């Protein structure tokens, strides 16, 4: 089967960006205010998928990794606070997810990242042929893996070169052999990286209390948006101080809890507006579902975050025209 090659797509909305990432069940929520400018480039076969995404705004990614896959993410640029599965990370880290695993990823403004997923059977077959099968298997139980700086930088350059070449090479569209070569080359690069003797294979990094507080709040907001907790209620439910809550959001999401909760709810409304027709779901009803009862205040907050009024958001019926 020939490779499925996508050109670089550019977006002005994180929800459209999220839905365009092949095979990933996820939502993106924009946290920082302002116009979105993002790009997404992808190369995929039935067994293999690699994509590069860049987004200028801070985004929270929440969803489920593709089933029957092993998924890696290699940060190319990390200009701010970043958390993956509650663990603090930096530009000396890579991320690992198993197929079907729920994830939450706090992505800073202007982050640039390379995602690579392999069919699980193909990955495990390649892993079993290495001398470090047990060590790498143990290491990959951690969602965030810290690696030697120089070795990771070398691997990052080679992976990016392989990806860029695949996008530029027209032969990739009609050559199963070239598809296989790209998959094997990237697989070998990652296995060699994880087998580096300088890598601490005993590393353990538990999820932090600060991440737990933010992610608990996120889930409570999404599950019952009409009754999303305020800061006082959050303190009471989690039995922590107001200062702890404030510091947690500043550290993990680089914002206040009030702004974070409001942003998650506004993103929920936006997703509903974009996925329904005007006749099926009026703006006021969508806002009420996410706890916004004062439409004038809601409209001001919506425009401040997304740069447009709710009435200007393109509805599902408009996409069909």
Model pLDDT for residues 94-142, shown as the tens digit of each residue: 999 999 999 999 999 999 999 999 999 999 999 999 998 999 999 999 9
pLDDT > 70: percent of the chain:
95
Q: Is the dihedral of CA 172, 174, 179, 180 positive or negative?
A: negative
Tell me how many degrees the CA angle 150-39-269 measures, rounded to the nearest 5: 120
- Is the Cβ–Cβ distance between 310 and 272 less than 8 Å? no
Start-to-end Cα distance in the chain: 33
Q: For residue 160, how far is the Cα from the chain centroid?
A: 19
Per residue in 75-92, pLDDT (tens digit) is 999 998 899 999 999 889
DSSP per position, 29-95? EE-S-S---EEEEEEEETTEEEEEEEESS-EEEEEEPPTTEEEEEEEEE--S--EETTEE--TTEEE
Q: CB neighbours (10 Å) of residue 185? A: 15
Mean pLDDT, residues 48-61:
96
Per residue in 241-275, pLDDT (tens digit) is 999 999 999 999 999 999 999 999 999 999 999 99
Per-domain boundaries in the chain? 4-194, 209-319
Instruction: Give the per-residue pLDDT at 143.
Output: 95
* Superfamily of 4-194 according to CATH: Jelly Rolls (2.60.120.10)
Name the CATH code of domain 209-319 (choices 3.40.640.10, 1.10.10.60, 3.30.479.30, 2.60.120.640): 1.10.10.60
Averaged pLDDT score across all residues of the chain:
91
d(CA 96, CA 79): 20
Q: Which residue has the higher pLDDT, 5 or 300?
A: 300
Instruction: Give the per-residue pLDDT at 49.
Output: 94
Quote the pTM value. 0.92
* φ, ψ (nearest 5 deg) of residue 295: -65, -30
d(CA 255, CA 249): 6
d(CA 113, CA 77): 7
Q: Is 39 left (phi over 0), alpha (psi -120 to 50) or beta?
A: beta
Per residue in 206-233, pLDDT (tens digit) is 889 999 999 999 999 999 988 888 899 9
Instruction: Give the per-residue pLDDT at 200.
Output: 79
Instruction: Give the per-residue pLDDT at 1.
Output: 45
What DSSP character marks residue 108? P
Instruction: Give the per-residue pLDDT at 320.
Output: 53
């Amino acid at each position: 089967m020939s490779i499925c090659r996508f050109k670089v797509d550019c977006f002005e909305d994180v929800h459209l960006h999220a839905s365009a990432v092949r095979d990933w069940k996820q939502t993106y929520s924009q946290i920082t205010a302002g116009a979105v400018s993002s790009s997404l480039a992808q190369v995929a076969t039935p067994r293999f998928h690699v994509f590069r995404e860049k987004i200028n705004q801070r985004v929270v990614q929440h969803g489920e990794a593709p089933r029957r896959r092993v998924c890696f993410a290699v940060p190319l640029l990390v200009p701010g606070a970043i958390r993956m599965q509650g663990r603090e990370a930096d530009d000396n880290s890579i991320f690992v997810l198993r197929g079907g695993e729920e994830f939450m990823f706090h992505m800073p403004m202007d982050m640039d990242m390379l995602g690579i997923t392999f069919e699980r059977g193909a990955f495990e077959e390649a892993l079993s042929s290495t001398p470090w099968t047990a060590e790498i298997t143990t290491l990959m139980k951690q969602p965030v893996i810290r690696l030697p700086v120089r070795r990771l930088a070398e691997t990052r350059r080679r992976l990016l070169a392989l990806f860029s070449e695949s996008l530029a090479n027209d032969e990739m569209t009609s050559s199963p052999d070239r598809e296989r070569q790209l998959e094997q080359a990237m697989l070998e690069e990652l296995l060699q990286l994880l087998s580096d003797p300088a890598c601490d294979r005993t590393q353990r990094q538990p999820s932090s209390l600060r991440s737990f507080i933010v992610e608990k709040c996120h889930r409570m907001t999404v599950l019952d948006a009409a009754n999303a907790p305020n800061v006082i209620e959050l303190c009471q439910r989690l039995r922590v101080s107001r200062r702890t809550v404030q510091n947690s959001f500043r550290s993990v999401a680089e914002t206040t809890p009030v702004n974070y909760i409001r942003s998650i709810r506004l993103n929920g409304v936006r997703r509903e507006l974009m996925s329904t027709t005007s006749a099926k779901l009026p703006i006021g009803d969508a806002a009420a579902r996410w706890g916004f009862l004062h439409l004038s205040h809601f409209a001001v907050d919506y425009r401040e975050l997304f740069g447009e009024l709710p009435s200007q958001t393109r509805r599902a019926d408009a996409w069909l025209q």
